[in-house]
Every structure is written in structure tokens, then in C-alpha cells.
Structure 1
Amino acid sequence: MDPLAAFWRNADDSDPLRMRIQLDHLLAIASYSDARVLFERASLEDFLGDEEAAVPLYEASLSAGLDTDREHQARIQLASSLRNVGRPHEAVQVLQDAEFSNEYVAARDAFIALAFWDLGEHELALRNALQAAEPVLGKYRRAVGAYAADLSTRPEEKP
């Protein structure tokens, strides 16, 4: 098993210093690209709740050239961190500026929904949340899709 996969499987944020030391050790003994090292460090800061520290590391990892799978992860995690530090406009931009593989489309839509909610764009938030749910809607996919498309034409109900 990949040592980094084992590290993340057993991750416990109760001892941040221990986690940083363990990750530094794993990164030092492996031959990961600079982009991957930056991504893993960003992910750790994010995991530990220090999104301010994670943001520039995610940005640097993306600039350094991640493989496609990790690029998708980094964009989603960067957007989440940007949203958590009060930069939801940038979060939406990070997610809308890239193409995502099918594996990450639902997560992208969910994080866009959260950012739109923070921006007070509740209709767009709900539409994106419903799009994120599409893969698991089964026989209700068409109906929910139609309702989501209809959101902007429904009259607003007054209390």
C-alpha cells in the first residue's frame, strides 16, 4: 500500500505536530514531484483546519503541474478552503474555470452550491446542489432535473 494512502487512512488531527512530522518524513523518503509535495502539505493544513495556510500551497501545487486526478482534488479542496476563508467568489471561479472528470463533477457542483449559498445566490445554490445529486437520483433524475431548470421561472412565494 502507498505510504501516503496509509497516512491519510489513519489521519488523526488530535496531534498536528506529529502529523506534520510524519508527513515530512514520508515526503522525504519518496520521490514525489514538487507539485505532489505541495499538494500533500496543502491537504494536511486543510485537514488540520488551517485553510489560510492551505490556500497558497494548493495554488502553488496547481502551478507546478499536478497529474489530472490530483489537479481535480486540488481545485475542489482549494475552492473549499477559499470559501472557508471568506473568498466565495474565488471559490466559484476556481471550480468553473476547469473541466472535471465525471468522478469529480458531483463534488464540484456541491462545492459551487456551498459558495453560491455564501454569496446569497440561493437559487443557484439549490440548482447546483440538485445537479450534484443527479448521479444517485435513479429514476427520479429527469423529474428533479426539470424542477431544477424550473427554479428561475417559479413565482416567489410571499409569507
Structure 2
Amino acid sequence: MSGANRDRRLAEAISVRGAGRHELAREQLIALADEFPDDVEVAFHTAWAHDLLGLEAAAVPFYERALGQEGLSPADRQGALLGLGSTYRVLGRYETAVATLRRGVDEFPDHAALRTFLAMALYNTGEHREATGLLLHLLADTSQDPTITDYRPAIDYYADHLDETGD
């Protein structure tokens, strides 16, 4: 099959998914994934289609395939790391979720959604202090609320010193 045909079919499946026809998009993407098993972009979009339908366990191998080699754009790599980490968390694979999301935050430290989902996974592993600190830093970094921005330095400080007292 020609690359142009693959590109056209992938674009069509993405458009179908965007139109909310998730099952049809999943079927189209599975067919593409069968024809192009080493195509990381097809694997990523196939995983995403499964996730949209609540088929998290079926999404995992596609996410893993997408991340298993080079070739994803930075935006798709961010999405794949977030999707896989979130999927692991939903499946109760909390330690693996934390490892995947940490990898995502290490690669893309300014990606707020990766940091947010990492905090959720940390909560699930009992790392409440780290989860809270991460969310406090995120709040301080991203909020435009004047009642937050006025206290940004204090919030940033205490995010790393939650157990500190004035004693």
C-alpha cells in the first residue's frame, strides 16, 4: 500500500474520531494497525480510539507499540505518555502508571496535564505529600486567579515544605 493511501486513511479515521464516531474510527484504525504494525503514529491513534470507548486494556499494547520506537511527533509523544500512564492508572497498575507519567514529566516538564495525572497516580500509590506538592506547584505555575498569584511565592515554598511548622 502506498504511503499516500495510508496517510489518507489515517486522516479519515482521525476525522471520523473527531466527529464522535468512535467505534467506526476504532475499526478503521485497527485495520490500519494490522497493515502497518510498525507505524507508531497509527499505533498511537489506535490506542486513543480504544481509550475513547473505555477499552483501556485493549489500548495498552497500542500505546506501548507507539512508544516503543522513535517517530512520534512531540505532541503525539506527550499524548501517548499521558494516555498510557492514565490507562495504567485506570487499570489499577499504579506503580507502572507513576513510572510512565514520571517519564512523561521528565521529557516534558512544562506539560501541565502530565503533571496532573502523575499527581493522581502518586495519590494512588500513597505518595500523598508528593502528589499534593506537585499539584500546589502546578496551581502556582498556572493560575491567573489573583488570590493565588498574590501568594505564589508562599505556595511554591510550602509545596516543598508541607510538614514544616513555625516551631
Question: TM-score w.r.t. structure 1 length?
Answer: 0.77
Deviation at 1:21, TM superposition (A): 3.2
CA contact (8 A) 1:109 1:131 kept: no
Letter in 1 for 2:120: L
Is 1:43 the counterpart of 2:48? The answer is: yes
CA contact (8 A) 2:122 2:131 kept: yes
Q: Which residue of 2 aligns with 1:53?
A: 58
Is 1:143 the counterpart of 2:154? The answer is: yes
Structure 2 unmatched runs, 5+: 1-10
- The counterpart of 1:80, out of the listed 86, 90, 100, is 86
- Cα separation, partners in 2 of 1:78 and 1:154, compared to 1, 3 Å: farther
Is 1:127 the counterpart of 2:133? The answer is: yes
% identical aligned pairs: 33
Structure 1 unmatched runs, 5+: none
The 1-side partners of 2:52 and 2:28 are apart by: 14
- Cα separation, partners in 2 of 1:101 and 1:61, compared to 1, 3 Å: same
Give the SS at the match of 1:64. coil
* Structure 1 residue ranges (4+ consecutive) displaced by more than 4 angstroms after TM superposition: 2-5, 22-25
Letter in 2 for 1:89: E
Deviation at 1:4, TM superposition (A): 5.5
CA contact (8 A) 2:14 2:25 kept: no
The 2-side partners of 1:109 and 1:118 are apart by: 14
Q: Which residue of 1 aligns with 2:8?
A: none
CA contact (8 A) 1:39 1:57 kept: yes
Give the SS at the match of 2:161. helix
